[in-house]
Amino acid sequence: MLVIRPIAMSDYEALHRCAVESGHGFTSLPVNEVLLKNRIQHSENSFAKASVNEPGDEGYLMVGVDSVTGEVAGTTGIEAAVGWDVPFYSYHISTIVHSSRRLNVKNIVKLLTFGNNYTGCSEICTLFLRPQFRGGLNGRLLSKCRLLMLAEHPERFSRTIFAEMRGVSNADGHSPFWQWLQQHFFSIDFTMADYLTGTGKKGFIADLMPKLPIYVNLLSPEAQAVIGKVHENTKPALRLLEQEGFVCRNYIDIFDGGPTVECDRDHIESVRLSQCYSVEIADHTSCRDYLLTNTEFQCFRATAAKAAVNVENQSVIIAPDVAQALLVTTGDRVRILAC
């Protein structure tokens, strides 16, 4: 059984392993001891805040742990509000028309405009599941547990929830989109730019990034081809979010051109459909799978398991090992979502 819980400093080695395995282009998991430990510490401090009435600089990082072996299978997180302490940049794709009635010429062109439009919004991020754990409901649990957290604790998050999807790059960290920017505006390669961003050193972006809009048709064909496209390993995560109602509103990542998708918090499918039920603990014969979380925050837990739901009395029967994983007893409340 995979159990999601808040990360702890004792998970550093496991998080470092995830950072190494995630490869190039995974900005939120740079292979840097200081940054990873600072991120864990920040998450511990954020979870420890007992009373939060509006999103601030909190960052919540969690790990999925095999309940039998104790091995960390992956990580997932939410940033409560981006852009306040460190600028958050993106490109917006817009359309303009150049036309001349006298010459009977009309050209429709796309522009990339540099900006900070997601400042103050909540970001679901840092989703990585190690290859040997991919299968069953593990990926779905690691992604959707964040949405169930949003549903249970909406006051901690903004109305707009977004996710940056990893763009196209090869095994060597080569990004066609960044190569064009590097050639014309920067003197560092994609892996270095990605690393500096992950370590919070974003000053070079504002210093060197072109301030005026960029005509897309001036980019190389290779760069144009990957705008709004995702890395092959990111396609399953994108499909899950699209099923939740997330859409791309023409914002892309400034490094690899990957799409940014967003959704109003209350319109997210899992937020709308998940429900709270009272716990009954007993063995049962139900074959229906559910994602389940407790209603705690500091001691947040989530898992996927069989459960028997009684809609009439608003209760759910879960097995003793599931109750133990969720840190709940009879009469406690859990939030559930049918798989």
**CA–CA distance from 88 to each of 94, 270, 304 (Å)?**
19, 27, 34
Furthest-apart CA pair in the chain: how many Å?
80
Class of residue 226 by CB neighbours under 10 A (exposed 0-12, middle 13-18, buried 19+): buried
Spatial separation of the C-alpha atoms in residues 337 and 269, rounded to whole Å: 10
Q: How far apart are CA 221 and CA 115, in angstroms?
A: 24
Residue closest to 29 by CA, chosen among 228, 149, 226, 166: 166
Distance (Å, whole) CA 274 – CA 331: 18
Q: Which of 184, 231, 267, 284 is catalytic?
A: 231
Q: Which of 167, 181, 338 lies closest to 257 in space, CA to CA?
A: 167
Give me 248's structure tokens.
């791309």
Told to judge if 284 belongs to the known catalytic residues of this protein, a careful annotator would answer no
Q: In Å, how far are 216, 233, 254, 261, 324 from 2, measured between CA atoms? A: 44, 21, 34, 27, 13
Catalytic residues: 231
